[in-house]
């Protein structure tokens, strides 16, 4: 059993949903992104809470993720955003799971199937150069769909590479281009349900990208920038002190002896390491919180343990709570900055041996 645990505050998730709704224009549906185990928060529990909040459209990355949620009894519509095999396409159709067609060859494949009512979303590349059919293949795609009454195009979408930049001209051009693409499809194929392009930062920074569906991920979990005070963290990662030591000037700490004490110090050992998701990049530069005070990480982060400076903590004791992130004092964005990464990687990296406790 790991001594580290993550408190998942579902009330904060609800607050974030309401904050997102307040930003979105009237009538815009939320497609809640719960891929990667709901960004480390627990896809089943998060999906069930979202269902209670009448958020009934969920997005995942893989067929396996979709099946995990569906098998848990969640009744929401599920869209697979990522890679999918032909066999998984057939299974998705059978299990009423929406999937993304992102390559023209896949469109030809589903066109060849002798199945009724094949529902899917079509992804179009507008500059990410990742998944999505090429813009030059739009006319061909429309032709294939129009000729087969069994193909039911439920939505079309694209993806922003830099909507985090408020003044991004590239994002503005993507929105304009996608508007034209939407018109091409609307003129040729009636009754397409959804058009979506906005991710979390797109929702906040580019209101004209809301269309009639938006795909919040980071914002759901309270991981957008600090300026958005209405959106708050859902996860609080915690552990507790398991050992306290007094060390002398010249003593070293952890592997490689990369930290040498310049004076007498009180240090504490906490049972969390890189196997739990605490980045090794925080060695000698990360911070945690104990008794509402920041404590430096000393030496290298180990696989299962980390050593912190308790010298400024009043009467530290074994069992005292230590917060890794998730409060005003220190959040996942700040941890990501110190580790030279992004908050997605921090929360998605919290391993399965860290127990999730739902509140």
Which residue among the candidates 35, 49, 238, 287 is catalytic per the annotation?
35
Tell me the sheet residues that pair with 345.
Answer: none
In CATH terms, 235-358 corresponds, of 1.20.1270.360, 3.40.50.1100, 2.40.37.10, 1.10.1040.10, to 2.40.37.10
* 78 touches 69 (CB < 8 A): yes
Q: What Å distances lie between residue 157 and 22, 31, 105, 143, 291, CA to CA? A: 23, 12, 18, 18, 47
∠ CA(20), CA(21), CA(25), 5° rounding? 110
pLDDT category of residue 328 using cuts at 50, 70 and 90: confident
Between 24-38, 159-173, 213-227, 341-355, the lowest mean confidence (pLDDT) is in: 213-227
**pLDDT tens digits, residue range 190-228?**
899 999 999 999 999 999 999 999 999 999 999 986 565
Fold exhibited by the domain 31-221? TIM Barrel (3.20.20)
Domain spans, the chain:
31-221, 235-358
Give the whole-angstrom CA distance, residue 35 versus residue 53.
Answer: 18
DSSP for 176-208 reads HHHHHHHHHHHHHSS---EEE---HHHHHH-GG
Q: Which pLDDT does position 224 carry in this prediction? A: 86
Tell me the mean pLDDT in the region 330-334.
Answer: 94
**pLDDT tens digits, residue range 57-72?**
999 999 999 999 999 9
In the chain, the percentage of residues whose pLDDT exceeds 70 is 98
Mean pLDDT (the chain, rounded): 96
Domains 31-221 and 235-358 in one fold: no
Residue 35 annotated as catalytic:
yes
Which residue among the candidates 75, 108, 255, 359 is catalytic per the annotation?
255
**pLDDT tens digits, residue range 224-269?**
865 656 899 999 999 999 999 999 999 999 999 999 999 999 999 9
Residue 172 has pLDDT above 90, yes or no: yes
Is pTM beyond 0.85? Reply is yes
Q: Cα dihedral angle (188, 194, 199, 204), rounded to 10 degrees?
A: 100
Look-up: residue for tokens 């925080």?
A: 282
């Amino acid at each position: 059993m790991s001594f580290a645990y993550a408190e998942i505050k579902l009330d904060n998730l609800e607050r974030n949903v309401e904050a997102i709704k307040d930003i979105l224009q009237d009538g815009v549906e939320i497609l809640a992104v719960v891929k990667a185990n709901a960004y480390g928060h627990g896809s089943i529990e998060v999906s069930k809470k979202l269902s209670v909040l009448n958020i009934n459209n969920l997005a995942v990355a893989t067929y396996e993720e979709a099946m995990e949620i569906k098998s848990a009894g969640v009744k929401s519509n599920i869209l697979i955003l990522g890679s999918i095999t032909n066999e998984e396409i057939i299974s998705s159709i059978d299990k009423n799971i929406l999937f993304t067609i992102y390559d023209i060859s896949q469109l030809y494949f589903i066109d060849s199937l002798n199945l009724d009512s094949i529902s899917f979303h079509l992804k179009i590349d507008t500059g990410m150069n990742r998944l999505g059919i090429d813009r030059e293949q739009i006319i061909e795609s429309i032709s294939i769909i129009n000729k087969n009454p069994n193909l039911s195009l439920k939505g079309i979408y694209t993806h922003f590479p830099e909507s985090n930049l408020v003044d991004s001209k590239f994002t503005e051009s993507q929105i304009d281009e996608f508007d034209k693409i939407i018109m091409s499809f609307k003129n040729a194929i009636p009754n397409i349900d959804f058009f979506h392009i906005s991710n979390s930062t797109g929702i906040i920074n580019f209101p004209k990208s809301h269309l009639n569906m938006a795909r919040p991920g980071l914002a759901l979990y309270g991981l957008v920038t600090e300026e958005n005070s209405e959106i708050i963290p859902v996860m609080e990662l915690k552990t507790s002190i398991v050992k306290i030591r007094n060390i002398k000037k010249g003593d070293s700490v952890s592997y490689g002896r990369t930290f040498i004490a310049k004076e007498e110090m009180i240090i504490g050992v906490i049972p969390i390491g890189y196997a739990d998701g605490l980045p090794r990049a925080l060695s000698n530069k990360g911070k945690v919180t104990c008794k509402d005070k920041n404590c430096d990480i000393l030496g290298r982060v180990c696989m299962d343990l980390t050593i912190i400076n308790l010298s400024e903590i009043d009467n530290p004791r074994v069992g005292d709570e230590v917060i890794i992130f998730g409060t005003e004092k220190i959040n996942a964005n700040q941890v990501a900055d110190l580790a030279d990464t992004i908050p997605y990687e921090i929360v998605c990296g919290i391993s399965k041996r860290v127990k999730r406790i739902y509140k």
